[in-house]
Structure 1
Amino acid sequence: MPTGRRAGSVGPVIGLPDDVTACLFDLDGVLTSTAALHEIAWKQTFDEFLAAHAGPDEPEFSERDYTAYVDGRPRADGVRTFLASRGITLPEGLPNDDPEDPTVNGVGNRKNGLVLKIIEERGVQPFPGSVAYLEAAHQAGLAIGVVTSSANGARVLDAAGLTRFVQARIDGLTIGERKLRGKPAPDSFLAGAADLGATPATTAVFEDALAGVKAGHDGGFRFVVGVNRADQAEELRANGADIVVLDLAELLDES
């Protein structure tokens, strides 16, 4: 498994420090447009839950709620964190809880069923700039990994045609199997670097979620790229992004 650049590769071509040998990409919102589909599924799930369990005066789930409490976190963590913001605590339940069960796992399973249905209906589209960046990183000889809190990481990568670039994948299933803490803890990124045979000191992290940027920063990674898909550039910087871009293509040297 490659762990470094090919001889003669040049850092500025891909906008990273010269000592970076590996890249870890978040999936939803960085490589693919599926973050928007996740937000739709979370909103429907939480709005229906709040209407049934919190009363008609409870405000609906908002875009701010998504970025503050859910985006980038493992599914169950997102359920707990958002509901805690509304003063609601649920029993954990079991991983195979029915989607209608009033448990953390039940609510999470309802959301997952919805997002899979939406993905099936709409398909998965990678961002063209991200595909171009993956191509450039591959040509530069960088090791490439994906670190996502989604349990559907393999399915999304396959549907987007991106699996061919990926040498290591840490997803929601891996996080559960290895008992890793989810983002904003750095555990999943640290595991991704280790699976690539790299160290944080020589690895770049690419994230659009505040929780993910914080995880990259707190994990001591060499370079953290914040991808500003949700008009939160200042928040990305405040959480530890070394640079903020609207699209990964901005990092490529076109000269």
Structure 2
Amino acid sequence: MSFLQACLFDLDGVIVDTAKYHYLAWRRMANQLGFDLTVEENELLKGISRMESLEKILAIGGVKLDEATKLSLAAEKNSWYLELCQQMSPDDVLPGVREFVEELKTNQIRVGLGSASRNAVLILDRIAMLTYFETIVDGNRVTRGKPDPEIFLTGAADLDVLPASCVVFEDAMAGVQAAKAGGMKAVGVGDPVVLTEADVVIKGFEGLHVQDIKQLFVV
């Protein structure tokens, strides 16, 4: 029988809301290419890699580009995004997150990060949470993006725990699917109408306790 040994967290939309910065940067790029990117269209980019996001945006605009131009645009978008991230501070951590992670550590539950972002370390440093995570698995370490479970399976291996003893916190359907594909419990953070495949969905971390998460392992 499995029991809770580790929690793995996505970054964007779970620990901190950098989605607004991604949107502003992608929209700036779309505008540069002659079309707009709506808030609704931006939802399609949640939880996927930078190059996958770019492909979706180009499809929305009906724009075809060669590989070298795509790489150049992706790098330019990232530089705009990083400029915006420089504004971040510990105040940008979403409500209740820091307290919940501290409670996990007090209860000897291992803690890791699993994010498609290649800028995870920089962002965690800006919000003063870099030391909270025993492992950081980001877009620089894995080759397959969510919903492939590689990112979370790597995190479990780093922490030396079985996937069945891990709980993943995710705000994107692709992330929830990655957790389930890896044999882990998935806690959706956000809208239960969207995160239908999660084991349980929470609005946020305020008032959440370790005991609540341990209930996922009670048969």
TM-score range relative to shorter protein = 0.7 to 0.9
1:28 alignment counterpart:
12
8 Å contact kept, 2:2–2:164: no
The residue type paired with residue 214 of structure 1 is: Q
Matched residues in 2 for 1:146 and 1:253: separation?
A: 17
1:224 alignment counterpart:
186
The residue type paired with residue 7 of structure 2 is: C
Matched residues in 2 for 1:21 and 1:253: separation?
A: 11
1:243 and 2:200 aligned: yes
Query: What secondary structure does 1:174 align onto?
Result: coil
Deviations 1:108-162 (A, max 9, x none): 1121111111111354611131111101111111111101111111111111111
Which aligned pairs between 1:1-255 and structure 2 lie closer than 5 A? 19-49=3-33, 51=34, 58=35, 60-68=36-44, 70-93=45-68, 103-123=69-89, 125-175=92-142, 180-221=143-184, 223-228=185-190, 232-237=191-196, 240-252=197-209
Query: What secondary structure does 1:236 align onto?
Result: coil
The residue type paired with residue 128 of structure 1 is: P
CA distance 1:190–1:118, change in 2 (3 Å): same
8 Å contact kept, 1:207–1:225: yes
Alpha-carbon distance, 1:185 to partner:
1.5
Alpha-carbon distance, 1:253 to partner:
7.0
Query: What secondary structure does 1:224 align onto?
Result: strand
Cα RMSD of the aligned pairs, angstroms, is 2.2
8 Å contact kept, 1:27–1:153: yes
2:215 alignment counterpart:
none
Matched residues in 1 for 2:119 and 2:208: separation?
A: 28
Q: TM-score, normalised by structure 2?
A: 0.87
Alpha-carbon distance, 1:77 to partner:
1.5
8 Å contact kept, 1:29–1:36: no
Query: What secondary structure does 2:56 align onto?
Result: helix
- Structure 2 runs not aligned, ≥5 long: 212-219
8 Å contact kept, 2:116–2:145: yes
Query: What secondary structure does 2:169 align onto?
Result: strand
8 Å contact kept, 1:39–1:66: yes
- Structure 1 runs not aligned, ≥5 long: 1-16, 52-57, 94-102
Question: Higher Cα Rg: structure 1 or 2?
Answer: 1
Q: TM-score, normalised by structure 1?
A: 0.76
The residue type paired with residue 234 of structure 1 is: V
CA distance 1:196–1:62, change in 2 (3 Å): same
Matched residues in 2 for 1:136 and 1:121: separation?
A: 28
Query: What secondary structure does 2:112 align onto?
Result: strand
Q: Identity percentage over the alignment?
A: 32
Alpha-carbon distance, 1:251 to partner:
2.4
State how many pairs are aligned. Answer: 211
